[in-house]
Amino acid sequence: MNIFSLDVLVEYFFKNPSIVVWLFLIYVFIYILSVMFGGAKPGRNPFASDVRRRREPLVLDHKARDAVLKQRFKTTKVPEKLDAVIIGSGVGGLSAAVLLVKAGKRVLVLEQHDQAGGCCHTFREKGFEFDTGIHYVGDMDGHSMFSTIVDQLTEGQLLWVPLDDEFDVVALGTPGKQKTYPMKMGREQYYNNLHALFPEEKEAINKFRAAIKEAQKGNAGPVVLKMLPKWLARLLVATGLFNLFFGGFFKYASRSLKSVLDGITSNKELQAVLSYILGDYGLVPSEAPFAMHAMLVDHYRKGAYYPEGGTSEISLHMVRAIERYGSKVLVNAPVTNILFNDKGRAIGVRVKSSASGDVDIYARQVISDAGARNTFKTLIPKEIAEKSCYYKMVDQLGPGVSCITTFCGLSASPSDLNMKACNYWAYTSADIDRSIKDFMNQSVEDAVNSEVPIIYISFPAAKDPSWDTRYPGKSVVLLITIAKWEWFSEWKDERLRHRGDRYEELKMTIGRKMWEQTVSLFPQLDGQLEYMEVGTPVTNLHYLGAPLGEMYGMDHRSQRLSAETSINMRPATGIPGLYMTGQDVYMCGFVSAVLGGMLCAGTILNRNLINDVERLRKTLNNQPQKKVN
């Protein structure tokens, strides 16, 4: 008897009707992924060809750089017949702009600050240069999808320099008594190094690695949910079909980092070392979704990188690319309102200009890189904002953590001070949860007299091979810790540098405490400090437009990574003509902001740009290496 006969199959499906439903849903799923993502009438493909060109020398002339990054708003500079106006020049806004102009759209990017770039911008003070938000990036080996994206956005003009093999170092203990644990780049080296650091915990480390791997299965799930039509995304999630492909990620999105580690080991030092990178998303282990932590650990599997010339190189070359296609990026252009027609469609923005007063600018689409809270609580009338799911989500998720940043200028070169091209994560206690929560639950008056429980220590001068040419005999150190908005919120409406003696005393006391704790790790820095400035949550409000001083936009607890939130937090806002880009579309960080720009441009162009760039990546990887140097 032939067990594969038609009669047998018919009888089997008759007795198991659910199989038919599952097969149908799988067909729909595959059909959508392969065909319908791009839509019936896609726009031009911005990744149709490789736009990398021979790398030009670094622009060392500050005036020449400022001519690109600091173009003040004037009505005469606004291009005619705009397809899109973008609010904010962070990497999410610039990425969307580059992709749209390459697809033939005319775009205007408006920045409220006096320099384009958002967290990519750098500033110069007293002969020193400081980066502000991008301190290292993974996955820039030249062959990955992400490195292909950034290469195309910057026309191949960035040279990504790898950090040291020991790219991160964890320091645990009270100042002066810290024990250090170097973390090594590379998939195998990372875990082999952990085995060497904790030889008695090999089984626990292997379990951690297995959990990372399982959580990474389906890490594309949130992106897929944003690209599918909402009704289909909800259907696939409700039926459980989506979990067949992406269940690993969402399983671990609902579990905290602490709960996973508690199930692996009781060794508190190992738990702290495995948790160390939590500052990159701003949550303690008991609050952090393990899935997000897993993505970050995996992000550095091939190493960590820093752009030669500093992080403003990223925005410099994106702005140049935008202008190459006839569009503009203008600064000192705060948007006060998004404009709507009588049908509730976004049709433009109102800019407050010091020279011209209020200026209305019209475009077919309005794109916001100003963050969800600014967009839906400030720039849009409530009766219109309420039509978008973003309006409620802003309050449901709440703001992410804020920070204090101490900028230190030193009177010696990186080599003289034996600086390494790496980062240090200094924790005063292996009980990270308790120490950070205790610190954050204090008043600011008590906090200034406490040890700072977490300090991220970055050496930009050592990471950048061009530093000695640009700033000979000098170096910089960047120190970051978490902070509460409420500690400094009373000064939010005061002018920059006119916030009073008490504000200055509080922030500088914390800054000096951070510096002292850093010197306890690096005694060679003692006596070298020439310049110090301290940024607070209200500094983030002034320079980055973060309304509550938040570093990473909306909060990243488990609800942020849920399937429902992933479905709702997409570029299309539900308000005609209005789109979102940047980290509030996806997750925090440079990579996520770029992906937010990709998703936004793809939605407007009706294209699956991820498929487009992946085709280009495979083509480039199969060809002889293109010379761009």
* Three-state SS sequence of 320-372: HHHHHCCCEEEECCCEEEEEECCCCCEEEEEEEECCCEEEEEECCEEEECCCH
What pLDDT score was predicted for residue 623? 76
- pLDDT of 36 strictly over 70: no
Q: Which distant-in-sequence residues (6+ apart) come within 8 Å of 371 by Cβ?
A: 88, 545, 546, 547, 553, 554, 582, 584
Do residue 326 and residue 370 come from a single domain?
yes
Q: Are residues 470 and 538 in the same domain?
A: yes
My answer on whether 527 and 441 are in the same domain is: yes
Residue 228 and residue 178 in one domain: no
Say yes or no: 426 and 487 in one domain. Answer: yes
Based on the fold, state whether residues 475 and 505 are members of the same structural domain: yes
- Residue 451 resides in a domain: yes
Number of domains in the chain: 4
What is the residue range of 600's domain? 62-124+141-153+308-380+574-621
Whether residue 52 lies inside any domain: the answer is no
Claim to verify: residue 120 and residue 207 sit in the same structural domain: no
Final residue before a domain boundary, out of 493, 519, 551? 551
Tokens matching residue 31? 């059909």
Average pLDDT for 414-430: 97
pLDDT at 4: 37
CA distance 344 to 346: 7
Instruction: Report residue 212: phi and psi, to 5°.
Output: -60, -45
Reply yes or no on whether the pLDDT at 507 is more than 50.
yes
pLDDT for 622: 85
Residues sharing a CB contact under 8 Å with residue 410, sequence separation 6 or more, in sequence order:
417, 474, 475, 476, 477, 525, 528, 529, 530
Task: Tell me what pLDDT residue 14 has.
Answer: 56
Give the gyration radius of the chain's Cα atoms. 25
84 occurs within a structural domain: yes
Q: Is 235 helix (H, G, I), strand (E, B) or coil?
A: helix
- Whether the predicted pLDDT of 629 surpasses 80: no
Question: Within this chain, do residues 191 and 284 fall inside the same structural domain, yes or no?
Answer: yes
Q: State how far the Cα of 478 lies from the Cα of 181, in Å rounded to an integer.
A: 20
Note whether residue 173 is domain-resident: yes
CA dihedral 256, 373, 154, 567 (to 10 degrees): 60
Angle at 459 between CA 457 and CA 463, to 5 degrees: 140
Task: Kindly report whether the global pTM for this prediction surpasses the value 0.95.
Answer: no
pLDDT score of 77: 96
Does residue 456 form part of some domain?
yes
Residues 110-156: tens digit of each pLDDT = 999 999 999 999 999 999 999 998 999 999 988 899 999 999 999 99
What CATH number corresponds to the domain at position 547?
A: 3.90.660
Strand order in the sheet with 328-330: 328-330, 107-110, 84-87, 365-368, 578-580
Is residue 11 predicted with pLDDT exceeding 80?
A: no
Q: 206 and 333, same structural domain? A: no
Q: Quick one: pLDDT band at residue 628, thresholds 50, 70, 90?
A: very low
**pLDDT band at residue 30 under the 50/70/90 scheme:** low
Inside any domain, residue 45: no
Residue 530's CB is within 10 A of a number of other CB atoms, namely 14
Q: Does residue 626 belong to any structural domain of this protein?
A: no
The pLDDT of residue 17 is 59
Q: Which residue, of 518, 551, 584, is where some domain finishes?
A: 551
In a domain, 130, yes or no: no
| Residues 540, 410 share a domain | yes
Given 494, 518, 551, the domain boundary residue is 551
Q: Are residues 312 and 279 in the same domain?
A: no
Output DSSP code: residue 72.
B
338 with 431, same domain: the answer is no
